[in-house]
Amino acid sequence: MLLYFFNEQLIVYSQHFIMFMIIVGLILSNIYCYNVLPRKEHEDPFIKITMWPILYRSMVIIPLNSTRAIHVHHWVLYMFILLFYGCLWEWFIGFCAGMIINGLTYADAFDFMMQNPYSVFEN
């Protein structure tokens, strides 16, 4: 059993409810991955937002110099989010776990250094 205090009332969640909410989070992460993220590595995501110097085609890419950049994969971001904010909601634990698992399925999951894509904008 998990106990929460909400508005000075004790809320008791059963283990079945907690597991159900984690599974809901896993399903939501699958839906998100299918509709937003690319199917294979080195493909563009379906939603492409570029905001120099953090986002390039919706990927977190931090430039080091004019030729090299660091690609922070989504599984790394969700790992840190899960570590620091994972205790907020049970479905959020499942969502973050699903995003981490999805990110580790890519062949380039541990390739963090890449050519600086922003150098196109600097010329």
The tens digit of pLDDT for each residue in 66-93 reads 899 999 999 999 999 998 886 778 889 9
What are the structure tokens assigned to 26, written together?
């896993």
Of 83, 116, 82, the closest CA to residue 99 belongs to 82
69, burial (CB in 10 Å: exposed 0-12, middle 13-18, buried 19+): buried
Q: Is 31 a residue whose pLDDT tops 90? A: yes
Q: Report the pLDDT value the prediction gives residue 1, as an integer from 0 to 100.
A: 47
| pLDDT, the chain, mean | 85
Indicate whether this model's pTM tops 0.75.
yes
User: What confidence tens digit (pLDDT) does each residue in 7-26 have?
Assistant: 555 556 677 888 899 999 99
Which residue range is the domain that position 53 belongs to? 2-122
Unique residue bearing structure tokens 């085609």: 57
Could you say which DSSP state residue 16 is in? H
